[in-house]
Chain A
């Protein structure tokens, strides 16, 4: 069973057709079959593989995946949905307040993650997870345990928390996706459609595969020197995966590591003890495919391969036989993978010039967006409330509130205790009388956190003066960025020209990302003003959701001549622009329109009025005056 050579022939005992069908026809797998395979692999090895990020057209479809995964995971494996605003006490463990008060001694609650050990954590609306929750989750994913957080006699210092995550990404097309730290740790990024998952595997299959999994390629992995031939073949698979990741612009080594594991899972699900090319191709398609950020450079002789591409089979002068065979293996495998990958690439990658990688976009928008209203910041007082709702308990105030009632409560508590004393023993009461606290006494801290500002620049990149205007707009954005460097402000940039407006830079504080976006800013073409305003409305709403104030700055002469559908025609374009402008007005945010035409244009004034924007004519726009105007508007 340990011989590598037997790998490609499947043992006759495993007669089912599905794994082979799955493995060989991976290029033609539909979304549902891929999802089924991913579910089986996660049920098998989910803890090591992190989990999956799901995108589905409707939330009930995502649920079908969750249901399928549960059906494959061991019977009775715990399963929970992550509440959006979960306090640390509930997530990682803390004091169980109700029990503590009832028993008069600290009672620890180990938290949701410890309770889910060996189970499944479903995160609906995963794109809303901010940096701090993501950090906690990734820590637990990495370590596999949570620390005991409350000092209780004889409590262990850690609790196992080996969880599999299903993060359901409900973001709209242009919004930030699931936090990068989580997405990176989830092996699968799955897209679902309305088709139901084919039920190819059963819980018994998973159980059988689980018994086999530790033995898959075991001889080759642990002690390479002992089995030179075998290890070279595993090497070949690994090298191919690493190379594939590079070809498709995937930086994360975690993804490659996950792909290797997935390949082994495929072999185990197929009843084999060693991986074959199909497993590797399937794993590449499942794990690496959706992460691709670019297409491989076209094959012509500039290939990125380490060796020069020789005429394939009979080139045996300078290498020994096995190495040569290995090379050939690698090449064959690579071709297979590229074929398999083609079917799994992210939508859009194949059509557009891949200048903006999804990863960079995702990362950029995240900074400072973690403002979960009222649970952090400076304390400005207390109010009555339930600490379990996410508020932070103010103990001193709570005890103060409880103090006046103590004699009364003790008397009534004494009465009930005396009445029921014979019924059941009361938990050990400390020597001195404890404080009797009732839920009414709880005082929650009122916290105040100043909101940041998101400055959204909407720059007209159309027509002849575009070049100058763009340069100045870039200058102004850079000035603002330099300023926001020490603050919590963000800057975003929308450019419009030709057929439609485009978000070049989602809200960010990151200078590196901003400068890249600015450098790539093109100019020329028509003026799709309506589309530009629509994008600005979108970004405004998004920034608001994250708790930021907004300042929207338009730099344009407002000579709209492209309608929303991309067609020409001044009248239609202007009518739509005014319509969008009224939507913008409805948001009641700070809006500034800087008129860049040589003479103040009536059109620009009309659009500004419709938006409720402050109108500034700056025929000779320069970075400093724009910057000054924005600063004034923000004040």
Chain B
């Protein structure tokens, strides 16, 4: 089989700390929601996402399961796995990399949600379900480059599935539901069109990436990329230790996070912060708290503190501000002001 091109190592990405942090935090706690990455071309957006399978801890997957079910959480198992268990089968499992699925713009609904199985329809005249991209995405990442250009009906569909963790297919006479828990990572260039507000709000975190103007950093970016292009294996091996270190951090954080306490004072601060910037609904508050908790876990802290809140606030809130077309003040600036007002200076 054709060896796939190696992915550029996550740890070798120069700068873009906020983006890397946001992505890692969703690896610690996928319930934070998706990550929206806004920025110009060539800012390592795709690179960061495509580096995840090699970076994140591999996961256990039930052997033969089309939806990548986890052998240890029966509550989230698909119907096939339930049936197999019910029939008394002992499910075996394998280690797989965390899936990262690219959703191309203009992908058909068939490809995304799955469709009638052509083979069986044509050869046996049977109705059977052929899983789509969402099935492969279960427990992983769904990456949509240029998500701001995604078609509306697909956006609606992704929102529904992301919200429920389940893909419900009712079409062409087939009726199937299967688990589809995933972290939606969308990237886009805001100059090429804005995202619909409904979609914006569903993202847990958002980051704005820019190309650095620092000459040394830019030189370093290209140097690493060039070294990687010339010798992918050698370069990857050189960064393997750094990647492994990050992976261990994620693993430790996952074990720790459930035991982490969020003090009442921090809860109150979070609520006051959301009120101060005027985000609608509870999504902002949830993302803020979950983000802060994941960050505390990743940092190895004993409890969530106001500093964690302060760090994560711009990512958790900036995309939820009411847009005012006639107002020029950037969202990040408004958040920073609110953070300074509510939480005091760092």
CB-defined contacts of B116 to chain A, threshold 8 Å: 395-396
- Contact of B191 (CB < 8 Å), options: A145, A222, A242, A363: A363
Q: Does A376 belong to the interface (CB within 8 Å)?
A: yes
Q: Does A473 belong to the interface (CB within 8 Å)?
A: no
What does the 1/0 interface line of B134-161 toward A look like (CB < 8 Å)? 0000000000011011011100000000
Q: Are B230 and A221 in contact (CB under 8 A)?
A: yes
Instruction: Determine the residue in chain B with the shortest Cβ distance to A134.
Output: B105
A145 to B1 alpha-carbon distance, docked (Å): 12
Given A131-B149, A242-B215, A513-B191, does the pair A104, B41 have CB atoms closer than 8 Å?
Answer: no
Instruction: Determine the residue in chain B with the shortest Cβ distance to A392.
Output: B108
Q: Are B42 and A106 in contact (CB under 8 A)?
A: no
Q: Does B40 belong to the interface (CB within 8 Å)?
A: yes
| A503 vs chain B, min Cβ distance (A) | 17
Q: Are A364 and B192 in contact (CB under 8 A)?
A: yes
Q: Does A158 belong to the interface (CB within 8 Å)?
A: yes
Q: Does B93 belong to the interface (CB within 8 Å)?
A: no
CB-defined contacts of A134 to chain B, threshold 8 Å: 105
A135 to B102 alpha-carbon distance, docked (Å): 10
Q: Does A239 belong to the interface (CB within 8 Å)?
A: yes
Given A221-B230, A376-B106, does the pair A135, B145 have CB atoms closer than 8 Å?
Answer: yes
Q: Are B118 and A378 in contact (CB under 8 A)?
A: no
Q: Are A253 and B191 in contact (CB under 8 A)?
A: no
| Interface residue tally on B, bucketed by range | 35 or more
A342 to B8 alpha-carbon distance, docked (Å): 35
CB-defined contacts of B230 to chain A, threshold 8 Å: 214, 218, 221-222
Given A238-B222, A363-B189, A396-B173, does the pair A251, B211 have CB atoms closer than 8 Å?
Answer: yes
Q: Are B193 and A368 in contact (CB under 8 A)?
A: yes
A157 to B136 alpha-carbon distance, docked (Å): 13
Stretch at the interface among B55-63, B74-82, B123-131, B269-277: B123-131
CB-defined contacts of B213 to chain A, threshold 8 Å: 246
Q: Are A434 and B123 in contact (CB under 8 A)?
A: yes
Q: Are A239 and B215 in contact (CB under 8 A)?
A: yes
A133 to B218 alpha-carbon distance, docked (Å): 30
A551 to B213 alpha-carbon distance, docked (Å): 41
Q: Does B72 belong to the interface (CB within 8 Å)?
A: no
Q: Are B108 and A100 in contact (CB under 8 A)?
A: no
CB-defined contacts of B40 to chain A, threshold 8 Å: 251-252
- Contact of A133 (CB < 8 Å), options: B4, B106, B111, B123: B106
Q: Are A181 and B215 in contact (CB under 8 A)?
A: no
A105 to B326 alpha-carbon distance, docked (Å): 60
| B283 vs chain A, min Cβ distance (A) | 18
Q: Are B1 and A158 in contact (CB under 8 A)?
A: yes
Stretch at the interface among A6-14, A165-173, A482-490: A482-490
CB-defined contacts of B223 to chain A, threshold 8 Å: 224, 235, 238
Given A260-B222, A399-B121, A430-B123, does the pair A48, B193 have CB atoms closer than 8 Å?
Answer: no
Q: Does B299 belong to the interface (CB within 8 Å)?
A: no
Q: Does A56 belong to the interface (CB within 8 Å)?
A: no
Q: Are A105 and B148 in contact (CB under 8 A)?
A: no
- Contact of B105 (CB < 8 Å), options: A132, A150, A218, A254: A132
A254 to B124 alpha-carbon distance, docked (Å): 50
CB-defined contacts of B215 to chain A, threshold 8 Å: 239, 242-243, 246, 306
Q: Can you list 12 contacts pairing A with B, beta carbon distance less than 8 Å?
A: A104-B122, A132-B106, A181-B146, A235-B219, A238-B226, A254-B42, A256-B218, A363-B189, A392-B110, A395-B172, A481-B325, A485-B197
- List 6 A-B pairs, minimum CB-CB distance, nearest first: A132-B106, A367-B193, A135-B105, A132-B105, A482-B325, A106-B119
